[in-house]
Each structure stands twice: as structure tokens, then as C-alpha cells.
Amino acid sequence: MENVSPGYHHFLEVWHQIMYIAAGAAIAVGIIFLIVHFVKLAAIKTYKGKYDYLKLNRIKAYQFFFFSLAAAVFFFGNTIGDATVGKSLVYIFVRLFISLCVGVLLGYIVYLILKFYYPTFLEKKLTKLRYTPRISSAGNEMKLLSEEEEDVHLDEGMQAEENVFSVDYDVWVDEETGEVHIEKYMGYLEALECGSCGFRTLKLDREEILKPATEEEEGKLLKHYKCTYCQSVRTTQHTIAKILKSENDYKLPTDYILKGQRKVKSIMVEIISTKGDKKEYFFQSTQQASEFLQNFDFDKTDDGVMKF
């Protein structure tokens, strides 16, 4: 009261007007940004297109939206406590500081949720988009070829790519017409579920070639994963397929096997009795082998021939 100059109350009125407008503008900008995000997403026709768009933009869009809300809280905070602030110019700075702290805190909470908690939900959505059966131009449901999780396909063209080892190709085939769709996914962007903390924050950190693949021989690749939340690490070993001589990005393997089946040529089962007798059996599929093992009885065998 004592130190307040005559113009102070008028200044406060203008200040509050500005803050209200700024708060409203921040909310409006946030909402418009979010709407644009959803409209763009809805306009994308293919699953792969939606996948790429969400992967790149979803977290950024949410971040922008919630940061706008936090900014609105900051602006609105600068209009609270009129009676107290009216007493002295000092209070306007106290209020400014408190509003800033609250706004930053809210922004930080949103940042943490979007960085560590939200990716679990986003990845589930992305996984669904990636593995939803594609429809060929003939209208048939396409089949996804076996990923051969431990198998990394490289050819000369792909080796030139910078992140070559982290490129994942999904090959969709229309079994009736033979139409093929190849979709490319970046391994570095995929987040897996961390075995230690359970969040979907396990990301590929780096890759290391133990043995390069040649045209004749398969190679070996180590993938080092690190959790961005709990920092735990995991390493997996992968086989690098023999180098394919081709001009194209990816050549459909001639012996392709549909997902769920295994690329098994033959299986050998060796059974050694307590007496030291050895018997070997060969099978063409794991199913045959497991049926055999379920029915196996050492005493019913003679001359290494099993009778079913």
C-alpha cells in the first residue's frame, strides 16, 4: 500500500489481461497441434505409413500438447492472488517465480511419463500396426515370411547403408498371386521390453560384427541393448546370412518358409543307453522328431531301427 505507485494497479490489470490471453493462446495452440497430428495420421492409408508417422511424431505431439498446457498453467498462475500482489511490486515477482516452478514441474512430470511410461503403450500400438495382415492388390490377405529372428539378411547393396545391421525387412507375400510387399524397419528405433524393470525402454545401443559374412559362409553379429530407464544391459548373438549377390535391396529367398515354421533341413537324434549303445535317427521336421521322442522306448529298438 505504502510503496505502491498510482500506476501499479493499472499495470496489474493490463498484466492480467495479457496473462489470460497468453494462457488461452497456449491452450489453443496445443489443441490445434494435437488435432493436426490426428488428422495427418488419419489421412495415411497404409499400416506401414501409420507406423512410421506414429514412431516419429506421436511422442513429440503429446509433448508439445502437454508443454502448452504447462505454459498455460504458468500464465494463469500469474493472475492468482490479486489482493496480495496489489500490496507490493515484490509480490509480482514472487508470483512469477512460483508460477514458473509449477509450470516447469508439470512439464517435467509430463516429460518423464512420455519418456519412460508411455512408450510401452506406443510400442503395443506399433506392433499391432506392423503385424496386421496386409491386403494385396488382388484383395487377398498376405502372409508374413518367417523373420528368422537370429537371421540378418545382407546383400551388397544393403551393406552400403550406414545402419545396415539394424535394418529389418518384413516380407509380405500373397500366396495366390505371388505379389510381394517389402517393408523396411529400423532396428535402432525399436524399443523392447526390459527384463529388469519391465518398461518398454530397452533399446539397441550398438552392434558388433564378430565374424563378417561372405558369399560362402555365414557371419556372427552381437547386438548390445541398453535400457534407457534402469540402465541394465543385454547382449544377443545373431547369425548374418550369407551375402546375396543381387542388385536389389532384398531378394526373396527361394526356400522361403512362412512365419511359425522353422528352416529345418534335417534333425538328428542320438540316443545313448547306459550300456553305451548309440542309436541315431534322422527326421525332416521338429514335429516328426518330437513325435518320435514321445513314443521312444529303448527296449523296443533293434539294429537302430525304431518301430512305431
Give the residues lining the site for Zn ion (CB under 5 A). 194, 196-197, 227, 229-230
Query: Shortest Cβ distance from residue 192 to Zn ion (Å)?
Result: 10
Query: Shortest Cβ distance from residue 165 to Zn ion (Å)?
Result: 23
Distant-in-sequence contacts of 88-92, Cβ < 8 A, 24+ apart: 88/3, 88/4, 89/3, 89/4, 89/8, 92/12, 92/15
Which one, 189 or 197, has the nearer CB to Zn ion?
A: 197
Query: Shortest Cβ distance from residue 195 to Zn ion (Å)?
Result: 8
Which one, 98 or 230, has the nearer CB to Zn ion?
A: 230
Query: Shortest Cβ distance from residue 120 to Zn ion (Å)?
Result: 11
Which one, 164 or 197, has the nearer CB to Zn ion?
A: 197
Query: Shortest Cβ distance from residue 202 to Zn ion (Å)?
Result: 6
CB-based contact 250:182 (threshold 8 Å): yes
Query: Shortest Cβ distance from residue 122 to Zn ion (Å)?
Result: 16
Which one, 151 or 205, has the nearer CB to Zn ion?
A: 205
- Report CA-CA distances (Å) from 86 to 6, 78, 89, 100, 246: 11, 12, 7, 20, 78
Pairwise CA distance, residues 40 & 160, whole Å: 33
Which one, 49 or 195, has the nearer CB to Zn ion?
A: 195
Which one, 133 or 195, has the nearer CB to Zn ion?
A: 195
Which one, 53 or 229, has the nearer CB to Zn ion?
A: 229
∠ CA 154-157-160 to the nearest 5 degrees? Answer: 90
Query: Shortest Cβ distance from residue 226 to Zn ion (Å)?
Result: 9
CB-based contact 33:68 (threshold 8 Å): yes
Which one, 103 or 119, has the nearer CB to Zn ion?
A: 119
Query: Shortest Cβ distance from residue 221 to Zn ion (Å)?
Result: 23
